[in-house]
Amino acid sequence: MQSVDRAITVLEILAQHKEAGVTEIAAELGVHKSTAFRLVGALERRGLVEQPGLRGKYRLGFGIIRLAGTMAAGLDLTQQSRRVCEDLASDLGETVNIAIPSGDMVVNIDQVRGSSAVVSQNWIGRQNPIHSTSSGKVLLAHMRPNDQKRILRGRLEEVTPATITDPDELRAEFQEILDRGFATAVEELEPGLNAVAAPIRGLTGEVIAAISASGPSYRMEEEKLDGIGEAVAEAGMEISTRMGHMDQR
């Protein structure tokens, strides 16, 4: 924790002074110069700080902008999707979530409960293995090949007896998702819970998030999921348009 605290302090020092050398950073941290050098080196490798020249001075790097941009995009996404999620939750009577990728996981960043959602479960902030949810499978299906391969080569946890953990089976399902425009999950995250998800695209057409509808399997029966999927996919396209994506073909 001490190293993390010191690394954050380095970023704060650079934010305050615009740029600083290792000697100055070490003095403000109250540590040996070699310790400051290691901290700055680790941050530089991550793109969070950079050396603009040969003067031995460091400044904040573009990695900071990338992280800030991701946060801003997430906030914008929840703003642009809220009304669509409310309408979809009202139409279906089920819980609607917006999810984004987080490494090998998927995390929900917004939620609207439908009128039939008796259990007030809060999914916001919850992380789940990306292969075990309808949202995660949508994101995986549209992921860059190298990223997709990396995840499928890793450990695919069997969250429930119905969770698909065979990489070949998942790949076959990804093609179905691309063809029909939505993904389904039948008790793959929790027993008795079914879900349907569709992609949300950003300005340039890349899939940046997923919108899902979920509910108990006795209401969202497996034979109804295709019909629900069409409504969810339409909602995903509407949010995509709000996010600046114009080509829906």
Q: Which of 72, 92, 108 is the last residue of a domain?
A: 72
**Average pLDDT, integer, range 12-36:** 87
Residue 232 lies in a domain: yes
Are both 81 and 67 inside the same structural domain? no
Cα 128 from Cα 122, distance rounded (Å): 13
Please name which of 229, 205, 77 lies closest in space to residue 142, comparing C-alpha atoms: 205
**pLDDT tens for residues 136-153?**
999 999 999 999 999 999
**Average pLDDT, integer, range 169-174:** 95
Kindly list the strands in the beta sheet with 207-216, ordered across the sheet, starting from the edge strand earlier in the chain: 127-129, 105-112, 95-102, 207-216, 193-201, 183-186
**pLDDT tens for residues 89-145?**
999 999 999 999 988 899 998 999 988 766 556 778 888 999 999 999 999 999 999
Domain extent, residue 233, equals 75-243
Residue 144 lies in a domain: yes
The pLDDT of residue 160 is: 96
Residue 249 lies in a domain: no
Are both 139 and 204 inside the same structural domain? yes
Are both 109 and 145 inside the same structural domain? yes
Please name which of 196, 243, 177, 188 lies closest in space to residue 95, comparing C-alpha atoms: 196
238 Cβ contact partners less than 8 Å away, ≥ 6 residues apart: 84
Q: Which of 52, 72, 92 is the last residue of a domain?
A: 72
Are both 185 and 155 inside the same structural domain? yes
Are both 208 and 153 inside the same structural domain? yes
| CATH code of 217's domain | 3.30.450.40
| Residue 75 confidence class, pLDDT cut points 50, 70, 90 | low
Are both 115 and 224 inside the same structural domain? yes
Are both 62 and 79 inside the same structural domain? no
Domain count, the chain: 2
Name the pTM for this structure: 0.69
Are both 94 and 156 inside the same structural domain? yes
Q: Which of 46, 72, 98 is the last residue of a domain?
A: 72
Residue 63 class from Cβ within 10 Å (0-12 exposed, 13-18 middle, 19+ buried)?
Answer: middle
| CATH code of 36's domain | 1.10.10.10
Are both 206 and 93 inside the same structural domain? yes
The pLDDT of residue 68 is: 61
Residue 248 lies in a domain: no
